[in-house]
A and B are shown apart, each in its own frame.
Chain A
Amino acid sequence: MILEDNLGAEGDSVYAALMAAHEGLSEAESHALNARLVLILANELGVPARLAALFKAARDLA
């Protein structure tokens, strides 16, 4: 799991692209987009043990 910076100089542009993906959506539509995105990213990563670590890292801040 990588929790140090992994985006380098592209951090701001990746963040902006994520915001742009939500542009013009209602809150409900944005939640749905986020859910689809999590599923797509999970499949892209494809390693259950790494995913479990990521889920935990996110959960720990809840």
Chain B
Amino acid sequence: MKRLLLFIALVVIASPAPAGAGEEVAKILKNRCASCHDLTGPAPQTIHELWARDAPDLFYAGNKFRREWLVEWLQKPVRIRPAGVNYLRTINSSPTPKPGEKKKNYDVLWGSVLKPLVHIKLDKAQAEEAADALMQLKANTQYLAGMKLDKGAQVGLDKGEVLFDKIYGCLSCHQIEPNYGGYTGPELYTAGKRLQPVFMLSYITRPKNWDPKIWMPNGNVKPGDLQKIVNYLILLSKEDFNAAN
């Protein structure tokens, strides 16, 4: 086991790009991303650190994202987490109702998350470069070991939604179509496009491995259901959500 870990560590250390490209890439990340995003890790270890976080951690971006999605998103950034990265800053327990509106009997989102996301926009060439640089950030590779998507474990959208809502209760925090689902987790109707399947498998298995203090619990998902849920999320991301609107 120790040897395996050592090997993985060596691979991680040895893998960054050839020296010439490395400098350029490091500059892009340092200048453009590092003021808000954590590019070096580790993830927040205490609650105070958790609530000081301003933007999603990117130090394992290369193990998390799909490159195509990064390139596209960096050119056209939109909000992924309806309640923001830091939901304590974005909820309000006693909102004043607008004229003619009934008083809400639950906490509501307020402030910056109700406005479009503020994020640097890159052009195509820059986005490609930045995505390349991000894809080299590969921490926590050990948690991906043994994860493999079983494409045979397909479920339809209906059965998938039953798993997602009624059996594991993910819908309480995650949205499976625009404005349908909870707010405190990232939207998941784009997850299949955004995330690598092995990352989804690993993260759902134990969120704590990737982010020790995150407010997503370990759902104790059975291995068979795990494969079905990830296949469902991939299937879901192929839906055209703009068609109905």
Check if A and B associate.
Answer: no
Contact residues of A with B, CB < 8 Å?
none
